[in-house]
Structure 1
Amino acid sequence: MLKVEERYTNAVPELQKFFNYGNIMQVPKLVKVVINTGVGEAVSNSKAMETAEADIVAIAGQHPVVTRAKRSVANFKLRAGMPIGLKVTLRGQRMYDFLNKLFFITLPRVRDFQGVPNTAFDERGNYTLGFKDHSVFPEIDFNKIEKPRGLEICIVTTANTPEEGKKLLELLGMPFSKD
Structure 2
Amino acid sequence: MARMKDKYLALKAELQADLGIKNPMQTPALEKIVISVGAGFAMKDNKLIQNIEDTITTIAGQKASTVIAKKSVAGFKVREGMPVGVRVTLRGEKMYNFFDRLVSMALPRVKDFRGVPRNGFDGRGNYNFGLQEQLIFPEVSYDSVMQIHGMNITVVTSAESDKAGFALLEKMGMPFSKGSN
TM range (shorter): over 0.9
Q: Give distance in 2, aligned partners of 1:15 and 1:120.
A: 21
Contact 1:30 1:155 in 2 (8 A): yes
Q: Deviations over 1:153-174 (max 9, x none)?
A: 1000000110000000011111
Residues matched between the structures, number: 178
Q: TM-score, normalised by structure 1?
A: 0.95
| Structure 2: stretches of 5+ with no match in the other structure | none
**1:85 CA displacement:** 0.7
Contact 2:36 2:85 in 1 (8 A): yes
Contact 2:43 2:49 in 1 (8 A): no
**1:74 CA displacement:** 2.0
Q: Give distance in 1, aligned partners of 2:74 and 2:156.
A: 34
1:113 maps to what in 2?
A: 113
Q: Give distance in 2, aligned partners of 1:80 and 1:128.
A: 28
RMSD of aligned Cα (Å): 1.3
Within the alignment, does 1:59 sit opposite 2:59 as a pair?
A: yes
Within the alignment, does 1:144 sit opposite 2:156 as a pair?
A: no
**1:15 CA displacement:** 1.4
Q: Deviations over 1:35-82 (max 9, x none)?
A: 000111332212111101110111001111221112212233311121
2:162 maps to what in 1?
A: 162
Q: Give distance in 2, aligned partners of 1:174 and 1:86.
A: 24
Contact 1:118 1:177 in 2 (8 A): yes
| Structure 1: stretches of 5+ with no match in the other structure | none
- Which SS does the other structure have where 1:33 is aligned? strand
Q: Give distance in 1, aligned partners of 2:59 and 2:45.
A: 22
For residues 9-20 of structure 1, the aligned pairs below 5 Å read 9-20=9-20
- Which SS does the other structure have where 2:87 is aligned? strand
Within the alignment, does 1:24 sit opposite 2:34 as a pair?
A: no
Within the alignment, does 1:91 sit opposite 2:81 as a pair?
A: no
Contact 2:124 2:161 in 1 (8 A): yes
1:82 maps to what in 2?
A: 82
